[in-house]
Structure 1
Amino acid sequence: MKASYYKYILDFKRPSGTSRGVMNEKETWFIILEQDGKKGIGECGILRGLSIDDRPDYEEKLQWTCANIQLGKDQLWEALLEYPSIQFGVEMAFQSLASENPFLLFPSDFTNGKKSMVINGLVWMGTEGFMKEQIEEKLADGFTCIKLKIGAIDFDVELQLLRFIRQHFSPEQVEIRVDANGDFGLDIALDKLKQLSEFELHSIEQPILKNNTDRMAELCRRSPFPIALDEELIGVFTVAEKEDLLVKIKPQYIILKPSFVGGFRGTQEWISLAEKYKIGWWITSALESNIGLNAIAQWTFLQHNLLPQGLGTGALYTNNFDCPLAVSEGQLWYEKEVNWEFDFNEFSSL
């Protein structure tokens, strides 16, 4: 078996805002495996400034992984514990190589086009006008669950945007999730949660910064509506540490990004613990290209979770790879008659 890796820069169609600033491009890496004339591909979806494996030796670790590919998927997963995005890329690449079609990793009623998955429509941070425009667009597109990134503009303006949605759509018509990305100050977080509760929100992701576990536990206990942990899960590597965190904080939900939490195996560990403690969960992508998104979507369908998932990022980039994934009426579909536009030879010449 031969393994190689390649860097690829994804270009955003329009600058995308988070509480950590505005992104114009997104770096990703591909691992390509070759054996007996077959090829497989995996995506290592690192997000600089957020992923725990955003380290100076990242490329060196990719090099080591490819040089030691004969160790196999399971041994490599253990060796790459502190590099969750590479764990995911390796898992995906092995699954892709073992499949008849390198992009059909987990055949199901989803990949044969019979069933779809409900997803949330993502509204990016920006000016009031830009956010309102996105909200109207998502509602017109038939989304029944929208997720708003908050924390970048004035809080009162964000409350007005939520009021605008609720004036037109009841909680039964449109579910609203908000994501604070840790933006709320420790001392004022509960007050902000009380103000937000007026709009009958489904949940809020990560109201305060991670590693404030005592305060987060208190907020989960006292918040008038559910809290979901997101960044809090990053860098929690062992099953024992994961369990300790959930037992201490007792969140209502956790949000799982395979690129951040150790791929399918790491995600499955979190799911098992969440179900043990009656904690809800859903899966989201982390700005991967369509290659990573495709693998996450196919695997997610097999988990039979009926909550809206966070899997609709494929249209963000100008230089993504055309693929069978399509969003219609707030649902993610796999249009099996659509072919992938991906040339392995282009990468072997890089």
Structure 2
Amino acid sequence: MKATYQKHTLQFKRPSGTSRGILKTKQTWFIKISDKNNFGIGECGILRGLSVDDRPDYEEKLKWTCQNIYLGKEKLLTELIEFPSIQIGVEMAFASLAAANPYELFPSNFTQGKQGITINGLIWMGDFSFMKEQIEEKLQLGFSCVKLKIGAIDFEAELDLLKKIRAQFTADEVELRVDANGAFHPDDAFEKIKYLSELDLHSIEQPIKANQWKQMAQLCEKTPLPIALDEELIGVFNVTNRQELIQTIQPQYIILKPSLVGGFANTKHWIDLAEQQKVGWWITSALESNIGLSGIAQFTQTLQNNMPQGLGTGSLYTNNIPSPLEVKGEKLWYNPNLNWGKI
């Protein structure tokens, strides 16, 4: 058995705004395992400034992983605990190697093209007119759930935008999710959430920065708007700490990015903990290429969660890997009649 890796820099079609700045490119790495005549492929992708494994020794660890591929999946996953994005790449590559079709990691009605996954439309940060333009585009495409990144422009302007959307579309017609990416200050977060709650929103992601458990727990306890944890889950490797986090904060939802929390097994562990505490959840991609997005979507399908998932990121890039993934209306589909392109 041999393994190699290669870097791929994804180019955004248009710069995309987040509370951490404007994204123009996204670095990712593909790991390939070869065993006799078979191969397996996985993706290791980090988000700069957010992934816990955004470290100077990242490629060095990738090289070590390839050199030690003979250790097998379970041993490698243990050794890679501080590198969650390499963990999922390894998981994907071994699942791919074992599969009848190396691109169908979790065969299902989804990979057969018989069932799609409902997804939310993603609205990037920007000025009022740009965000309004995106929303109208998503609604015209048939999305009934849209997620807006907030916290970059003036809060009053964002509130005004949301009010105008609500004036046109009721909560029954369009489900609105907002993601603050930790942009609110604990001192005024509750007041802002209160204003937002008057607009019949579904939820708000990560209103304040992570690692403020006490303040976040207080918000979750008295919030008039369901709160979803996102960044809060990153870097929590210890099983006991995960349990303590869920029990202490008692959020209404958690949002899982498998590339940021350590792959499929770790994502499932978070879900089990959440369900024990009657906490809801959904899964989101972390701007992977179609290789990673497809693996995450296939995994998501096995979990049978009917909420809109955050998996609509495949069309963001000019140089993505051609794939059978297609977005039709508000659903992500896998078209088995389409071929994968070369990496």
TM-score range, shorter-chain basis?
over 0.9
Residue 296 of structure 1 is matched in structure 2 by 296
The 5 Å alignment of 1:172-187 reads 172-187=172-187
The 5 Å alignment of 1:136-151 reads 136-151=136-151
- Whether 2:173 is the aligned partner of 1:169: answer no
Q: Which amino acid aligns with 1:218?
A: Q
- C-alpha distance in 2 between matches for 1:222 and 1:15: 37
Q: Which amino acid aligns with 1:71?
A: L
Question: Identical aligned pairs, as a percentage?
Answer: 63
- C-alpha distance in 1 between matches for 2:6 and 2:60: 12
SS in 1 for 2:29: strand
- How far 1:107 sits from its partner (Å)? 0.7
SS in 1 for 2:315: helix
Residue 315 of structure 1 is matched in structure 2 by 315
SS in 2 for 1:315: coil
Residue 31 of structure 1 is matched in structure 2 by 31
- How far 1:174 sits from its partner (Å)? 0.7
Cα offsets for 1:99-132 (capped at 9, x unmatched)? 1221111110111111111100000001111100
Cα offsets for 1:246-302 (capped at 9, x unmatched)? 000000000000000010011011011011110000000000000000000001000
- How far 1:48 sits from its partner (Å)? 1.2
- C-alpha distance in 1 between matches for 2:342 and 2:230: 32
- C-alpha distance in 1 between matches for 2:7 and 2:65: 15
Residue 57 of structure 2 is matched in structure 1 by 57
- How far 1:238 sits from its partner (Å)? 1.7
Residue 269 of structure 2 is matched in structure 1 by 269
Cα offsets for 1:289-334 (capped at 9, x unmatched)? 0000000000100000011000000000000011111111111111
SS in 1 for 2:282: strand
TM-score (norm 2): 0.99
- How far 1:335 sits from its partner (Å)? 1.1
Residue 42 of structure 2 is matched in structure 1 by 42
Cα offsets for 1:160-215 (capped at 9, x unmatched)? 11112111111111100000000001100000001101111100000000011100
Residue 328 of structure 2 is matched in structure 1 by 328
Consecutive unaligned residues in structure 1, runs of 5 or more = 344-350
- How far 1:82 sits from its partner (Å)? 0.6
Consecutive unaligned residues in structure 2, runs of 5 or more = none
Residue 69 of structure 2 is matched in structure 1 by 69
SS in 1 for 2:7: strand
TM-score (norm 1): 0.97
SS in 2 for 1:156: helix
Q: Which amino acid aligns with 2:312?
A: G
Residue 205 of structure 1 is matched in structure 2 by 205
Cα offsets for 1:42-93 (capped at 9, x unmatched)? 0001111100001111111111111110111111111110100000000000
**How many matched pairs?**
343
Q: Which amino acid aligns with 1:12?
A: F
Residue 20 of structure 1 is matched in structure 2 by 20
The 5 Å alignment of 1:93-132 reads 93-132=93-132
Cα offsets for 1:15-50 (capped at 9, x unmatched)? 000000001000001111001111111000111110
SS in 2 for 1:302: helix
- C-alpha distance in 2 between matches for 1:342 and 1:105: 18
Residue 348 of structure 1 is matched in structure 2 by none
Q: Which amino acid aligns with 1:73?
A: K
- Whether 2:235 is the aligned partner of 1:217: answer no
